[in-house]
Amino acid sequence: MMNTTLYSSDTFLIEGGAHLKGQVKISGAKNACLPIIFSTILTKETCLIEDVPDLLDVKNACELLHILGAEGCKPTEGKILINASDVKSYETPEEIVRKMRASVLSMGPLLARFGKARVALPGGCSIGARPIDQHLKFFVSAGAQVSVRSGYVNLEIEKKKPTEFEFELITVTGTENALLYLSNVKGISILKNIAIEPEVIDLIDVLRKMGANIELEGRTAIIEGSEELRGFEHRVIPDRIEAGTLMVAAVLTEGEVELLNVIPKHLEAVIEKLERAGGEVQQIGEDRIRVRRREELKPLEIVTAEYPGFPTDMQAQFMAMLSVAKGNSMVYESIFENRFQHAYELRKMGASIEIRGKSAFIKGVKRLKGTEVISTDLRASASLVLAGLIAEGTTVIRDIYHLDRGYEKLEEKLNKLGAYVERLPATVS
Ligand SMILES: CC(=O)N[C@H]1[C@@H](OP(=O)(O)OP(=O)(O)OC[C@H]2O[C@@H](n3ccc(=O)[nH]c3=O)[C@H](O)[C@@H]2O)O[C@H](CO)[C@@H](O)[C@@H]1O
Ligand SMILES: C=C(OP(=O)(O)O)C(=O)O
């Protein structure tokens, strides 16, 4: 699990009270971009990825590719060119892997390419135990020898062969790892009970461009892999979680914000809840929406679920909003067992939230008060920023390391909309 104190981390200082107004462009999705970066290991040809968000996780993924021996890997003005033909190493070192969850996605491509992989156990947000047993069960079913020793997973396979595998539970990166691997295995494989998050579908688009033939029937994927995968050019889908976060900001601050570069279909569950809570969301173009407050904030019941359900990655942001809704709300977190750390920080700001197991009971209060809080994980940090936007006085959010993993220039975007968010650089590392 991630220990934030290991990393130098800035502080946000927020003055509450602004009504956000204006236009904001949504960045490419972190959780789509990362698996796509790892897919480049599967080909010796050059790959071009566009709409790459400027994020710590992306920089770390690129550094990992660079350490493995790939060329390019320098995100420049939203683009990355990667050529992995010179990759010779099949070992991903702990220092990088523990910084981000998605580095587990190097397993599938390295095993496919070298017949071997040695990958440190991944980090990411500490929102639960986050085991990778389903990834490993998949690799075993594909014929790999798998062992875990001294914090590293060792995988080895003699001869790649197609396989049929059913996940015991729905896992996003587990599905992506299996798709990455099988796309490079000749023959027809079947994966059942897969995740169908938009980020998984974006990866499938890329794997198809590379030459894999992938068909989807509900939660089943039929994959005809190829041993000679091609390079690709691909524009990453917009980040639905960044969009959702800014939509909540617009409603919460009684503002009016136009979001550019969104795929409204990906946001259906979020839009439905936001409208029930008193927001108004209008589609004003193919990839544009306008969001504002329609009426007084109302309480909600939210149960997180796999896509197309309500995303766990939006739960914390909604909790910040429900903290000041008129009435009692309930949030049930069905995906992760420890994803309520923001609730304790929101309480410091005056929110009334009681946690019982996987449920949070929120009694709306009239207002929040600025104080000093700690950001414990990525979306928890986002919820504290939202709370800071409407709190009385100044909110100081320490250790925004995780926020930088997942939001591109959040303070700049918010300030352009009229907020006051100042970044104070870390003084100790
Ligand atoms: C980099 C990335 O894309 N991160 C996203 C991805 O994380 P990630 O892929 O890690 O999340 P999973 O979908 O794998 O996890 C879902 C649930 O399954 C459990 N599980 C997962 C794998 C496994 O082998 N065994 C197991 O028990 C997890 O502990 C969790 O309780 O999907 C999550 C769920 O939408 C999002 O919150 C994360 O933002
Ligand atoms: C939990 C998240 O990220 P990660 O899986 O990289 O920890 C997230 O994006 O909300």
pLDDT, tens only, 182-208:
999 999 999 999 999 999 999 999 999
For residue 245, the CA-to-ligand 2 centroid distance in Å is 14
Rounded to an integer, the average pLDDT of 304-323 is 98
231/428: higher pLDDT? 231
User: Tens of pLDDT along 93-131?
Assistant: 888 888 888 889 999 999 999 999 999 887 656 777 789
Residue nearest (by alpha carbon) to ligand 1 atom 3: 31
More confident residue, 63 or 4: 63
**Residue 325 near residue 300, CB atoms below 8 Å:** yes
The pLDDT confidence band at residue 133, using thresholds 50, 70 and 90, is very high
Query: How far does residue 131's CA lie from ligand 1's centre (Å)?
Result: 8
Range in 97-101, 208-212, 423-427 with the lowest mean pLDDT: 97-101
pLDDT at 83: 98
| pLDDT band at residue 257 using 50, 70 and 90 as cut-offs | very high
- For residue 387, pLDDT over 80 is answered with yes
Calculate the alpha carbon distances from 144 to 147, 325, 399 in Å: 10, 52, 40
CA of 172 to the centre of ligand 1 (A): 6
78 Cβ inside 6 Å of ligand 1: no
Rounded CA gap, 377 and 358, in Å? 17
Q: Where are the alpha helices (DSSP H) in 171-330?
A: 172-182, 198-210, 240-252, 268-276, 315-322
Tokens of 123: 């980090």
The pLDDT value recorded for residue 97 is: 82
Round to the nearest angstrom and report the end-to-end CA distance of the chain: 19
Is the minimum distance from the CB of 168 to ligand 1 under 6 angstroms? no
Question: Best mutation site among 60, 98, 245, 379 for ligand 2, i.e. most ligand atoms within 8 A of its Cβ?
Answer: 379
pLDDT of residue 394: 98
Residue 53 annotated as part of some ligand binding site:
no
What span, in angstroms and rounded, lies between the C-alpha atoms of 109 and 225?
Answer: 13
- Tell me which of 1 and 404 has the higher pLDDT: 404
Delineate the domains of the chain, giving CATH numbers in brackets: 4-26+238-424 (3.65.10.10), 30-235 (3.65.10.10)
Mean pLDDT of 386-398: 97
How far, in Å, is the centroid of ligand 1 from the Cα of 57? 16
Q: What pLDDT shows up at residue 8?
A: 52
At 428, the pLDDT band (50, 70, 90 cuts) reads low
61 lines ligand 2 (CB under 6 A): no
> Is residue 1 over pLDDT 90?
no
Rounded to whole angstroms, the Cα distance separating 358 from 340 reads 8
Q: Which two tokens stand for residue 70?
A: 């790939």
User: Where residue 429 falls among pLDDT bands split at 50, 70, 90?
Assistant: very low
Cis status, amide bond into 299, omega within 30 of 0: no
Q: Is 313 in the pocket of ligand 2 (CB under 6 A)?
A: yes
The alpha carbon torsion through 143, 145, 147, 153 (nearest 10 deg) reads: -70
Please determine, for residue 89, whether its predicted confidence score (pLDDT) is greater than 80: yes
Query: pLDDT at position 150, please?
Result: 86
Residue 5 DSSP symbol: G
> Average pLDDT, stretch 136-155?
95
Nearest C-alpha neighbor of 75 from the set 106, 45, 49 = 49
For residue 101, the model assigns a pLDDT of 82
Among residues of the chain, what percentage have pLDDT more than 90?
89
Query: Is the CB of 126 inside a 6 Å radius of any atom of ligand 2?
Result: no
Coil, strand or helix at 117: strand
Are the C-beta atoms of 126 and 195 separated by less than 8 Å? no
The reported pLDDT for the residue numbered 9 is 85
Indicate whether 7 pLDDT > 60.
Answer: no
Q: List, in sequence order, the alpha helices (H) in 234-340.
A: 240-252, 268-276, 315-322
Indicate if 47 belongs to the active site.
Answer: no
Atom of ligand 1 nearest to the CA of 197: 35
Report residue 254 as tokens.
């009684």
Q: Could you say which ligand is closest to the alpha carbon of residue 102?
A: 1
Share of the chain above pLDDT 70, in %: 97
Distance 197 CA to ligand 1 centre (A): 11
101 is in an annotated binding site: yes
Q: For ligand 1, say whether the CB of 336 is within 6 Å of any of its atoms.
A: yes
pLDDT band at 5 (very low <50, low <70, confident <90, very high): very low
Question: Would you state the pLDDT for residue 422?
Answer: 97
- Considering every ligand atom shown, identify the ligand nearest to the alpha carbon of residue 334 and give its number: 1
Phi-psi category of residue 70: left, alpha or beta, with phi > 0 → left and psi -120 to 50 → alpha: beta
Place of tokens 């550094």: 63
379 lines ligand 2 (CB under 6 A): yes
Ligand closest in space to the Cα of 100: 2
For the chain, the average pLDDT equals 95
CB atoms inside a 10 Å sphere around CB 10: 17
- Tell me: is residue 398 an annotated ligand-binding position: no
- What burial class does residue 194 get, using C-beta atoms within 10 Å of its C-beta: 0-12 exposed, 13-18 middle, 19+ buried? buried
262: burial class by Cβ within 10 Å (0-12, 13-18, 19+)?
A: buried
Residue 279, amino acid: G
Amino acid at residue number 71 = E
30 marked as binding residue: yes
pLDDT digits (tens, 9 = 90+) for 59-86: 999 999 999 999 999 999 999 999 999 9
Confidence of residue 6 (pLDDT cuts 50, 70, 90): very low
Lowest mean pLDDT among 35-44, 91-100, 104-113, 368-377: 91-100
Place of tokens 């994803």: 339
